[in-house]
Amino acid sequence: MISAIIAAVFAAVYLLATVRLCRGVRLDARALCLGGVICALTLVLASIRVPLPTGSNITCGSWIPLMLLALVYDCRLAMLTGGICGILAMLLIPGWQAVHWAQIFVQQLVCFSCLGYAGVFGSDKRWKALCGMALAVLIRCCGHVLSGVIFYSQNAWDGWGAWGYSLAFNLSSRLPEGILSILIVGLLPLRLMRRTMPQKGGKA
C-alpha cells in the first residue's frame, strides 16, 4: 500500500510539473517534423536490445535522441515527443506493454518524456547540460524502479522482495545506459549543433 502511494505521488508530481513546463510551446511544422523524426529514431533504437544476466536489457542508445533534442532545440518539445514515444512503445516494442492501466502513468509517460529534462537547465554551459542529463536519468530510473515494485513484484527472485528485485533488475541496466548516454552526449559538440539547428519556433 505504501509503495502504491509513493508511486502515485511520484507520477502525479512529475506529470503536473511536466505539463506546467510545457505550457506555451508552439508546435509549428518544423517542430512537428523534428519531433516525428526523433520519435521514430528513439523507437527504432529502443527495439535493438542487449540482454543482461538479470533478465533486463540495455538498448542501442535510445536515450540519446531525446536528450539531444532537449539540449540543442527545445526541452519542452523533447518532453512532448517523449510522451508520445511512451505511448507508441506500448504498441510497437515487445516488452513495453502495460500490465495495468496505472502503469501508463507511472512508467510509460514518465520514462521517455523525462529525457526532455536533459535541457531544463539550459545547454550554454557544459555543466548545465550534465546536470540536466543527470536529472533525466534519475527520474527515469525512479520511474522504472517504482513500476517494477508495483507491477512486477510477482517476478521477484526468492528472498529479494519487491524493492530489492526492482532495484537490482532496473538499476543493472538503466543506470549504466544512462551513464553511457550522458558520456556520449557530453562528448558531442553541443554548441556547434545548436548553431547549425534551424531557429526554433517553440519558445513562447
Take residue 100 and report the three cell numbers written for it.
495495468
**Which carries the bigger pLDDT value, residue 180 or residue 105?**
180
Which CATH code, of 1.10.10.10, 3.90.1150.10, 1.10.1760.20, 2.102.10.10, is assigned to 2-196?
1.10.1760.20
Take residue 53 and report the three cell numbers written for it.
544476466
Stretch 94-114: mean pLDDT? 86
Please say if the pLDDT value at position 109 is more than 60. Answer: yes
99 band by pLDDT with thresholds 50, 70 and 90:
confident
Residues 182-193: pLDDT tens digits?
999 999 998 888
CB-neighbour burial class of residue 124 (10 A; exposed 0-12, middle 13-18, buried 19+) = exposed
Instruction: Please report, as a single letter, which amino acid is at residue 60.
Output: C
Please say if the pLDDT value at position 197 is more than 60. Answer: yes
Share of the chain above pLDDT 90, in %: 65
The whole-chain average pLDDT of the chain stands at: 90
CA angle 46, 199, 61 (to 5 degrees): 15
For the whole model, what pTM was predicted?
0.90
120 band by pLDDT with thresholds 50, 70 and 90:
very high
Q: What is the pLDDT of residue 198?
A: 67
